[in-house]
Structures are given as C-alpha cells and as structure tokens.
Homo-oligomer: A and B are copies of this chain.
C-alpha cells in the first residue's frame, strides 16, 4: 500500500502485474506457473461462479464431477485432441514416495511405477465420453446436459497471473445430443449465455464469432467464441463453446438407439470459461489508481469509513451506521464498515480505491451534526455530500449507474478501436499505431493467416457472427473474400 502503481501508458504489462499483487488478488506460488488466488481475488471468482452456475441451471444443465486423472490411452483416442494437448501435459508416473536407502531423504519409490501413466486433465472430453458410453443407450437418455467446476492443468511455459497459468480453475460443460442441429443450437446457446454474462455482469462488451480452423479447439468441428478488447487494444478470448460433431462419440464408441430403433453416434458440445475472466475484468475497467469493479461482481459493494478523533466519536458514528448497514444488507448489498483503529482514513481511502470498491461512504463528526454522508464513486472518482435520509436510494442508484457507466465506457473504447482496412500496408500501420481490432478481408487460407501472423503477430480473433456480410478482396493476396474477419494481437 502507499506505493503508487506504474501508469498504464508507461507499461501496461507492469501495471497489470503490480495491480494483481497490490490489490491482493493473486500471487505466484513456489510451484512453477501455479498461482495462489488470495481471498479478495477468489471472492470475485466466487461471484462469477454463482451467477454462471445459476445461468447454467436455468438452461437445464446439472453439475457432476469426473476424475482429475486421465489414462494416457484415453487421451490418445481422438487424434487431433491428443495432438493439441500432448505438449503441455502433467504426467503422473508413480504412486508412492519412500526414504532413500542411503539416507539422502525422500525419493520417488521406483517399485511404485504405474502400469499406465495418468495425465492430469487439461480438459475432460476423453474421460467424460468414456463415461457417457455407459450412460447413453437410447434417445430417452438424450440430451445429456452436464457441467463440471474443476481445476485443470496445461503446462504453459510462459505464465501470467490469471491470464495464463499452469493450473487454472474453470467450468467445462459437456453435452450429448441426438441430432446435429440440436448440438449446434446448444453450442450457440452457450456462446450467447457467455456473452450475456460478459456484458451484463462483467460490464465487458464482447464480439461473438467463429474461430478459423487453425484456432479451433483440438477435436472440435466448430469453435464459437467471445472476444473482449483490453485497454491496450489487445484481444482476450473470454469463453469458447465447441461443436464437436461426432468426433468423441466415434472415438469412444457412444451410440444410441433412435426412436426408430437404429444405432447412431451421439452429437456433442463442450464449452468453458476460466479464472482468466478475472484477468479480463481487471484489464477492461481498471485505472492508474487501481481496480475498478462492476458492482455486480464486487465482493464489497459499499465501504463505510469513519473519520474520528477518540473512541467517543467512533462510538457515535458506529451507532449511526448500524441501522444503515442493516438496511443495505437487507437489500442484498454487501457492505463493509471499516472501523480498524490501526489505520488512518487516508490509508483506507487508498486501499479501497486500489481494491476497486464501487461506492465509498465517509462519515465524520461534522457529518453527524449536519445529517450527511460524503459519498464517492470509484469509476469517476467524484464525490458529493448526501443527506442521510436519502443515502440508501443514492447508493442503489450509484450501484446501477456505475455498472452501466463502466460498460458504456468500455464499449465506447472498443467501438472506436475497431478499424476497417482494405490494404495490408494500412493494416500494419493501424496495428502498430492505433492497435485494437482490425476488420479486413482474408482469402480463407491457412497460408495467408500464417503469413499475417508471422509478419505482424496479429491473429484472426474470429469471424464475427453479428456482422453484415460484405464480400471483397483479401488484403494480402487479392483473392476473393466472402466477408471481413477480425484481426488483433491477443492475450
């Protein structure tokens, strides 16, 4: 505390790292690439989980739990799937430790080698489809709509808190359907659900689209995604929903009897969002003073700070505050009354600013005399004096207004940083000088996509779904293009 953050326009990446640690969200652990999510950061994730879980259940999904470990042979069954994950697998090979005979300490017991190695799940399609083979016999067993909240491990070489960690927390939905259109409808429904959550809870505008073949999930026929834009103009993939076709049903031999008595392979989807969303939340709204949190996801929505000399004044303030706290809580608003006598008000102001608490009330002796509170909002950093009588209504208004305001601000930024370009020269210039998303024509080939990536580091974030289609010519090769796609540098 007290130490100021690096400014965003000096070094965005440094600002991010300092903020994550300074606001007590997370930190690196002694285990390579694995983070510790601290209570304040975890409370944000819990709020995300609660809302997403409600949305999943409302759309007919149930939670279940599948094993952490995946036998190597399972992972190998779907060819493109194992291809995609083999390079980043944590592998369990032994099941016992022992004391070294030479007294040098604890070692892995060579006699306790597993017959078949187990992979710590990087995602659970294979273990789940091995299970679904037992659960699905008939059309009556479909659709099967299941979600799991779990930890997964992908051995990434370069990690960053929340954005890319070897272990992360996520939810993964895995559904099974009798028909192709029904599975596609599910994949699209979830993409829309994610977009709804991102926009209305995280206050983060997103663009819905399809991934190109090279960016698809390993094993998917089609990958739907939502893409957000961070304050540095880079894209962040915030959620993906995959139509898996019959790939996993075939790999794990999952067939069902149709109404007509035929045996057919089952159609599948899978979809997930992770603790990465916390990183997206931070980089969408926060400023040089610290976090800015949308009220709907803020662990503390209102903080009340007493300004006093001596215990007598603190007592008087506490008495006054008690019914206010009670009333706010009865309305479902989370309030913290910070009466610590170990820290000065100024210190507390900075702390809650850094932690992004949306609304701050300050109350001192003069406020008691005047029947007022000083009310400050985190998003605009403005404050005003409010009569005690109207303070609850004021707070309710502010919580809604801040939610709207930071969405609109992020939306305006995003919209002014999507640039249509028609030549590759312009593309490179915009990418370097302005950044953001670039809407351009592309000839649909992997070759051109890779060339652009190699030369500029920009990737195709998605083929937008809500765009009007407009034919044209590829900015690189001049070949025909059916529609513009969105390019950006990405997290």
Contact = CB atoms under 8 A, between A and B. Distances in A.
Nearest to A133: B30
Contacts of A167: 67-69
B86 A90 contact: no
Contacts of A67: 29, 31, 34-36, 167
Contact of A72 (B65, B86, B106): B106
Given A36-B131, A140-B342, 10 more contacts: A30-B71, A31-B71, A31-B127, A36-B66, A43-B62, A68-B120, A86-B97, A86-B106, A90-B118, A91-B95
A36 B117 CA distance: 19
Given A72-B97, A86-B96, A91-B97, A169 B30 contact: no
A142 to B, nearest CB: 12
Contact of A82 (B72, B97, B342): B97
Interface in A97-113: 97-99, 105-106, 108
A381 B342 CA distance: 61
12 contacts: A29-B67, A29-B130, A34-B69, A43-B62, A72-B106, A82-B97, A82-B106, A86-B97, A91-B92, A91-B95, A92-B92, A151-B151
Interface residues on chain A, size class: 35 or more
**4 smallest beta-carbon distances between A and B, as pairs:** A34-B67, A39-B62, A86-B97, A37-B65
A229 interface: no
B118 A31 contact: yes
A90 B91 CA distance: 10
A342 B141 CA distance: 12
Interface of A: 27, 29-31, 34-39, 42-43, 45-46, 62-72, 74-76, 82, 86-99, 105-106, 108, 117-120, 127, 130-131, 134, 140, 146, 150-151, 153, 155, 167, 169, 342
Given A63-B42, A69-B167, A117 B127 contact: no
Contact of A64 (B37, B72, B131, B342): B37
